[in-house]
Amino acid sequence: MIKSIKIPEDIKLLEDLRAGDIVQLSGIILTGRDAAHKRMMDFLDRNIPLPFNLAGQGIYYTGPCPAAPGKIIGSCGPTTSSRMDSYTPRLLDLGLKFMIGKGLRSREVIGAMIRNKAVYLAAAGGAGALIAGCVKKAEMLAFEDLGPEAVYRLEVENMPLITAIDSLGNNLFEIGPKQYRL
Amino acid sequence: MKEIRVSAIIQAIEKLCIQACYNLGDDVKNLLDTAREREESPFGIRILDQLLENINASRENQLPLCQDTGMAVIFMEIGQDVHITGGSLQEAVNEGVRRGYQKGYMRRSVLDPLKRTNTGDNTPAVIHYEIVEGDQLKIAVAPKGFGSENMSRLTMLKPSDGVEGIKRFVLDTVIQAGANPCPPIILGIGIGGTMEKAAFLAKKALLREAGKPNPKPEIAGLEQELLQAINNTGIGPQGLGGRTTALAVHIDTYPTHLAGLPVAVNIQCHAARHAEAIL
């Protein structure tokens, strides 16, 4: 069964998702990857407030292609989440509720997810053109100088996702491959 | 002696960059189709369906297949009877990349390795030149995304490690990479030569038509054996579990030193992009 979730309205439902649940996500998400995370840490280290609020929000790890004329956004599939692992627990403790990306997460991230009842959703890596079709609006939110690594505010519709790690720490990257190992 | 002007090279490379990033070859698409038919995992099926839909979405909506349009890796096989005129060859290659990435609305991902400042135009490319017989210039453009490049590895095995050691290293590399390189993957493996030769062979093996076996039967056998072993890991599409972890294994070998056994494994995601032209 596919669970349709709208952000911010259904944000509380995220913590009830279980690893393996299929999700269609609509609503508001922020983007951010390596350089934006590093910048956020610099802000936090210097006690400067972030130019956007992370509490109750989700970050999609992506660095889109530039939008061609007449297009909302360029190709925008997920990037490897583990490169954000060293930054993520701090953001979760600030109230970040979900992350969208691809690939594994560290034990520290999973611990912080359990502590903060957050969830990690997997998008299909390499499906950048398909996911671009789910983006209905894209606006630059912060760190414009970072180019493809800037933070955007996206409005998405029916973005196809799979619950990879849930708020209890169940991890589909462990459970799934075990079932098919020969 | 044949003259080729740099302006023709610029144009060709511009076109190849766009072609590679927008149109996935039918070789990979056919392998994905076959994998989809065989896949048993519901998550695997779902992901493979999305990857196939993505190929159509990319063609229909004129969007790059993947937002990581990569670092441009260019293989130039230059016939020894070719004379390149009108300017610098290296400049021409980079100009082609610059124009292609701009005109194709592809992501500029290239930056200074230490300062991390973006060069702004996806140059410089990584260029491999080979001088070969004849009077043709063969250009292959292979944009390489770093989700998979980051999971690639090289080792200098001992001769006593032998074929078993090679298999262990390859399998270990794939297992450690897990979900990160966007499986299903294609593996380019270079065995022999020196350190850099093995890495070059691994990269170049990815240019081969996906799934086409090495002409040497014993190497083709090793490719099949490794493909089977990789798919038995259960990692599956996007690492969520399933029968399809790799679509193909391509091995190339070169004689090596009696004291060594270099092995390089270059991991390529399912967006195995390359485009070729002959001038």
- Interval A156-171: pLDDT, tens: 999 999 999 999 999 9
Contact B234 A132 (CB under 8 A): no
CB neighbour list of residue A147: distance below 8 Å, 6 or more residues apart: B108, B118, B120
Chain B residue closest in CA terms to A133: B57
Contact list in A for residue B57 (CB cut-off 8 A) is 129-130, 132-133
Going by C-alpha positions, the residue among B166, B130, B172 that lies closest to residue B151 is B172
**Residues B173, B229: contact at Cβ < 8 Å?**
no
Which residue of B41, B107, B238 is in closest CB contact with A125?
A: B238
Contact B180 A103 (CB under 8 A): yes
DSSP 8-state symbol, A85: T
CA A39 to chain centre: 17
Neighbouring CB atoms inside 10 A of B254's CB total 14
Neighbouring CB atoms inside 10 A of B94's CB total 21
According to the model, what pLDDT value does residue A13 have?
A: 95
Contact B54 A129 (CB under 8 A): yes
Neighbouring CB atoms inside 10 A of B130's CB total 11
User: For residue B224, what are the CA distances in angstroms to B187, B251, B265?
Assistant: 12, 10, 16
Residue A96 has pLDDT above 90, yes or no: yes
According to the model, what pLDDT value does residue A148 have?
A: 87
How far is residue B61's CA from residue B124's CA, in Å, rounded to a whole number? 29
Contact list in A for residue B236 (CB cut-off 8 A) is 176-177, 180
Contact B54 A66 (CB under 8 A): no
Read off the pLDDT of residues A46-66 as tens digits, 9 standing for 90 and up. 999 999 999 999 999 999 999
Contact B106 A65 (CB under 8 A): yes
Contact A125 B58 (CB under 8 A): no
- Count, residues in chain A: 182
Contact list in B for residue A65 (CB cut-off 8 A) is 63-64, 67, 69, 105-107
CA B73 to chain centre: 9
**CA of B47, closest CA in chain A: separation in Å?**
6
Quote the mean pLDDT of chain A. Answer: 96
- Tokens for B20, please give them: 């590679």
CA A43 to chain centre: 20
**CA of A80, closest CA in chain B: separation in Å?**
6
CA A80 to chain centre: 11
Going by C-alpha positions, the residue among B268, B251, B264, B266 that lies closest to residue B184 is B268
How far is residue B183's CA from residue B79's CA, in Å, rounded to a whole number? 37
Which residue of B44, B179, B242 is in closest CB contact with A103?
A: B179
Which residue of A75, A82, A122 is in closest CB contact with B65?
A: A75
Contact B105 A176 (CB under 8 A): no
Q: Residue A64, SS3? A: coil
According to the model, what pLDDT value does residue A53 have?
A: 93
**CA of A32, closest CA in chain B: separation in Å?**
14
Which residue of A67, A82, A126 is in closest CB contact with B51?
A: A126
**CA of A92, closest CA in chain B: separation in Å?**
22
Which helix (H) or strand (E) segment holds residue A146: the answer is none
How far is residue B220's CA from residue B187's CA, in Å, rounded to a whole number? 13
**CA of B144, closest CA in chain A: separation in Å?**
12
**CA of B78, closest CA in chain A: separation in Å?**
32
How far is residue A87's CA from residue A108's CA, in Å, rounded to a whole number? 10
Read off the pLDDT of residues B157-208 as tens digits, 9 standing for 90 and up. 999 999 999 999 999 999 999 999 999 999 999 999 999 999 999 999 999 9
Strand duo A151-165 + B2-5: pairing:
unpaired
First vs last C-alpha separation in chain B: 13
Residues with pLDDT less than 50, chain B: none
Contact B180 A80 (CB under 8 A): yes
Which helix (H) or strand (E) segment holds residue A29: the answer is strand A22-31
Strand duo B82-85 + B2-5: pairing:
parallel
Contact list in B for residue A63 (CB cut-off 8 A) is 67-68, 107, 109
pLDDT bucket at A1, cuts 50 / 70 / 90? confident
Alpha helices in A99-158 (DSSP H): 107-116, 128-132
Contact A172 B241 (CB under 8 A): yes
What domains sit in chain A, N to C, each tagged with a CATH number? 2-10+25-180 (3.20.130.10)
Contact A80 B147 (CB under 8 A): yes
How far is residue B91's CA from residue B99's CA, in Å, rounded to a whole number? 12
How far is residue A60's CA from residue A5's CA, in Å, rounded to a whole number? 15
Contact B43 A20 (CB under 8 A): yes
Chain B residue closest in CA terms to A121: B240
